[in-house]
Amino acid sequence: MSITERTLANERERRAESFIEGYLPPDELVVDPSLKMHTEYDTDIDPISYEVLRSKIWNVNWDHQETIRRVSGSPVVVYGYDFNTSIQTEDGEGVCFGPGNLFFSACADVCVKWTLEHRSMNVGINDGDIFLQDDPWIGTNHQMDAAVYAPVFWEGRLFAWVYNVLHQRELGGVEPGGFTQQARDVYSEPTFFPPMKLVENGQVREDVVDAWVRRSRLSGLMTLELRSQIAGVTLAKERVLDMVRRYGPGQVKGVMRKMIATTADVVGERLRSLPDGEWTDTRYVSGAVVGDLTPYRVSLSVRKVGDRLIYSNKGTDESVGSFNITAGVLRACITNTLLTFLCYDQYLCAAGLLQQVDFDFERGTISAARHPSAVSTSLGLVVSIVQSQHLNMKMFSTNDATAHQTFATSACSTLIYNHTFGIDQFGNPTANFPTDGIVGGLGAFPWRDGLEHGGTMSSTMNPVGSVEGLEHEIPVLWLYRREAVDSGGHGQWRGGACLIAAMVGHRSPEHYISSGGLAQSVTQQPGVLGGFPATGGQMWRAEDCAIRDWLASGRVPGTPEALREMAPELALAAPKVFDNRITENDVFEVLPNPGASYGDPVLRLPELVEDDVREGKSSREEADRIYGVVLHEDGSLDAAATTERRAALLRDRLVAAKPAPEPRSGTITSVVERALATVVVGPGQNGAALACVHCHQELAPREGNYRLGTAWLEYRTPEFGAHFTDPQEQVGHDLRWRSYLCPSCGHALDGELCRPDDDPVWDVRLAPAE
C-alpha cells in the first residue's frame, strides 16, 4: 500500500464517517507530511540472512507475547490466549502475528493505518509515544479488546510499529464483564475510546490511565492488565531496534517486505489451483437480544477470480439486538480462517494474504453494523468466523492440496460463555471468565477425524486452564470435567469430541454465572459435504438442590447421570441470562461445542466406528442408527451385517426423502473438474453437467444449482443425539437439517439448517467455461 503525503483535506469528515460506518483502509493512506517515513529497504537479501532475520522477527513477537502473559495475571490471557501481538511496517502492514486469537491479525493493521491517517497531524506521532484504543468501528472486536501499540523510529523516521491487543476482563457496562446481552445499542455497553496517547515522549499519561480504568468494577486489575501491555510493546520496540542496530535498517526492512511479497505469491499460487466461481453460505442465527430469539439470516459469499478472492455479505439481515459486528471485524474474521488455511507456513503474515483479498460489504447489517449498534457480545464474531471457515472449506475442497489443510467448524461456534461475578468467600468483589464453555472439539479434516478438545479456529493455542487454577480464582468447585460421549459431529470423518463440566458454588454469599451466547438449538456447526451437524451445546442449572446433602454424605455427583439423579429438577438454562445464581446449593453444567463432521456418516470406515464405541466416544445405538455399523455382543465388528445395514439405510433415505424438484436422468462419462468434493463436472447427455461424485448421476447443468437435482431429507436435530435441543422448543421456530441426497445412490452430498419451506441456498456457481 502506498502512502500519499499531503495535507489532510476533509480529514475531519473522513474521521467522522469512520466512526459511523467503520474504518476499512483505503488504497492510499493520507498522512500528514510532517511525519517522516523510513521506506528504503534492501532487495538483495541472501537466503540465510532471510531465514535468520525472519526467525528473529517471529521470536521478538513471541517474547512480546510472553511478557504480557507473565505480567498480566489474567486467566483469560494465561489460559485462554485471548490476545495477540504483531510487528508491522511503517505503513501498518502486519508482518507476523502470534498464535493467540488470529482475528486480531486484521485488526492490527486498521488500528495503525487509522492512527496514521487521523493522528499524524493532530495529536502527532512521535518517538516515545504509545497509543491505546478499543473502538470497534476503528479496529477491534469489542470494547473489552484493548489495543496498545507504539511507533518505532530509526534516525528520526518512522520505521515500524509494534502492537498488542488483549481482552481486558472488566471495563464497565450494565452487565459485569461487558458482554452486554440485553443491549439494543452501544450506549448500554462499556464506553470505548478511539486511538489516544497512553504514553507521550516516554511518560505514561496518568490522566489517560485514570480515565481508562475508572469505568471498571475492578480498576486495580485493569491497571495491571494495561501495564502488562505497556511492558510488552516496550520490550518489543527495543528488540526491533536491537535488530536494526545489528543488521542494518535496509536488511531488516527488506526481510519484512520480502515476507509480505513471498506470502502474497504463495497465496496467489494456491488460489490459482482452484476453479473460478462463487460459493455462498446463508444461515440462521438466533439470540439477538434478551427476549428476541427470532432466527435472522447471515450470508457470506466468496468469488474466486484467478489468484484473488472477493468477499461479500450481501443478503445479511439488518443489524439487530446485541450480536452485531463492524465491517472491520468481518474482514478480520475472514482473514482469521484464510491465515489458517492458506498461510500456515508463512509465519502468519497477514499483510501478504490481504494483498490477494478484496471486500465488498453492505453496511447497516448484522455483519457490518453502523454505529450505534450493539457490538459487545462477540456473537457476530464467532458466527462470521465459523461461517467463513465452512464456506472456505467447501471452496478449497475442489483441490486435494488446498483441501488437505482445511477442517470443519470447531469449538466456540455459538459462544457459550459463562462469565462469573459476585462476592467471593472473603467479601471481595470478583469477576472472571472460566473457559469451559468456549473450548471444545476441532472439526473434522477431509482425511482424518477432528481433534478431541482441539479448540477453536480463532486461535492456534487453546489451553482451557486447570480446575485447580480456576478454583483458586473463582468461588466455585468443579464436580466433574470429562469427555462427553456422542458429542463429535457424525460423519465420514467425525468431529472432535468436547468436554462436559459441572460446578457448584463455594462459600460465596452472592455469586452468579451467565448462560450467554447464541441460542444453542440453532447450531452454527453444519456438517461439511454430507456430514451431519454437531450440537450447538447445552447449559443446565438447578437452584436449591440436594448437592450439600450429597457432599455431606460423602457422595459426589461426578457424572452427568449422577448429577441428574441428585438434581432431577435440572433444567436447560435460559439463553442470554447474565445472572444465574451459583452459590452453595446451586449447580451449573455446560456442554460446549464439539467439532463438526466431514462427509456422509455411512462412508466412515466400520473399523473406526468399532474403535469409537470401544473407546467410549460413540454409543452402540449411534453406531447402528447413524453409521449403519453392526457390532457383535463382544463389541467386535460384524462386517456382513454392516454391509446389509448400510445398504438398507441408503434405501430408507430415498424412500423418506422428497423427490428432486428438477430431476435429471443419465450419468456423466468422465470427471473434468470439481464444484465441490462431492459434486463433480463432466460431459452429460446435454452438455457439461454437475453430478454426484459417488455414482456420477447428473444433477444439474454445469452453471445450475445441483441441489435442485437432489432428493431432500429433513431431520429434526434431536434425531442426531441427546446433546441437541430442538429449535422449536427453545426459540419457537421450526428449523430442520435438510440433507441433499443423490437421487440415485442415496449418499448425502451436503446439507443446511433451514425452515421446511425455504428454497435451497445456491451454494456454488462455477464461472462459465472458456
pLDDT tens digits, residue range 732-752?
999 999 999 999 999 999 999
Q: Flag whether 607 is in a domain.
A: no
Q: Flag whether 631 is in a domain.
A: no
Asked if 254 and 304 sit in the same domain, the reply is no
Instruction: State the pTM of this model.
Output: 0.96
Q: Flag whether 618 is in a domain.
A: no
Going by the DSSP 8-state scheme, the letter that residue 65 receives in this structure is H
What number is the average pLDDT over the span 505-523?
95
Bridge-based pairing of strands 420-423 and 538-542 is unpaired
For position 2, what pLDDT does the model report? 52
Parent domain of 723: 657-770
Residue 706, pLDDT > 50, answer: yes
List, in order, residues 6 or more apart from 229 with CB less than 8 Å away.
68, 72, 146, 148, 164, 166
Question: φ and ψ at 496, to 5 degrees?
Answer: -65, 140
For position 400, what pLDDT does the model report? 96
List, in order, residues 6 or more apart from 756 with CB less than 8 Å away.
714, 734, 736
Residue 7, pLDDT > 80, answer: no
Cell for 377? 457480545
Residue 694: Cβ-neighbour burial (10 angstroms; 0-12, 13-18, 19+): middle
Residue 581 CB coordination number (10 Å): 16
User: DSSP letters along 598-645, please?
Assistant: BS-GGGS-HHHHHHHHHTTSS-HHHHHHTT---B-TTS-B-HHHHHHH
**Residue 206: band (very low, low, confident or very high) from pLDDT cuts 50, 70, 90:** very high
Asked if 40 and 142 sit in the same domain, the reply is yes
Q: What are the residues facing 5 on neighbouring strands?
A: 31
Domain stop point among 205, 228, 262: 262
Q: How many percent of the chain have pLDDT more than 90?
A: 91
SS3 499: strand
Asked if 586 and 709 sit in the same domain, the reply is no
For position 435, what pLDDT does the model report? 85
**Residue 1: band (very low, low, confident or very high) from pLDDT cuts 50, 70, 90:** very low
Q: Flag whether 632 is in a domain.
A: no
Q: Flag whether 602 is in a domain.
A: no
| Distance separating alpha carbons of residues 232 and 63, to the nearest angstrom | 8
Asked if 217 and 92 sit in the same domain, the reply is yes
Model pLDDT for residues 290-336, shown as the tens digit of each residue: 889 999 999 999 999 999 999 999 999 999 999 999 999 999 999 99
Q: Are 587 and 542 a contacting pair, CB within 8 Å? A: yes
**Residue 8: band (very low, low, confident or very high) from pLDDT cuts 50, 70, 90:** low
Domain stop point among 560, 591, 622: 591
Q: Are 519 and 283 a contacting pair, CB within 8 Å? A: no
Asked if 83 and 190 sit in the same domain, the reply is yes
Domain stop point among 205, 232, 262: 262
Q: What are the residues facing 510 on neighbouring strands?
A: 423
**Residue 443: band (very low, low, confident or very high) from pLDDT cuts 50, 70, 90:** very high
Model pLDDT for residues 273-294, shown as the tens digit of each residue: 999 999 999 999 999 998 899 9
For position 75, what pLDDT does the model report? 83
Q: At what angle do helices 219-247 and 47-72 cross, to 10 degrees?
A: 160
| Distance separating alpha carbons of residues 116 and 25, to the nearest angstrom | 11
| Distance separating alpha carbons of residues 468 and 463, to the nearest angstrom | 14
For position 162, what pLDDT does the model report? 99
Residue 555 CB coordination number (10 Å): 14
Q: What is the CA radius of gyration of the chain?
A: 26
What number is the average pLDDT over the span 520-544?
97
Q: Flag whether 694 is in a domain.
A: yes
How far is residue 279 CA from its own chain's centroid?
A: 19
How many structural domains is the chain composed of? 3
Q: Flag whether 630 is in a domain.
A: no
What number is the average pLDDT over the span 145-151?
99
What number is the average pLDDT over the span 78-90?
94
**H or E element that contains 403:** helix 400-404
Q: Are 15 and 118 a contacting pair, CB within 8 Å? A: yes
Model pLDDT for residues 365-386, shown as the tens digit of each residue: 999 999 999 999 999 999 999 9
Q: Flag whether 627 is in a domain.
A: no
Asked if 233 and 294 sit in the same domain, the reply is no
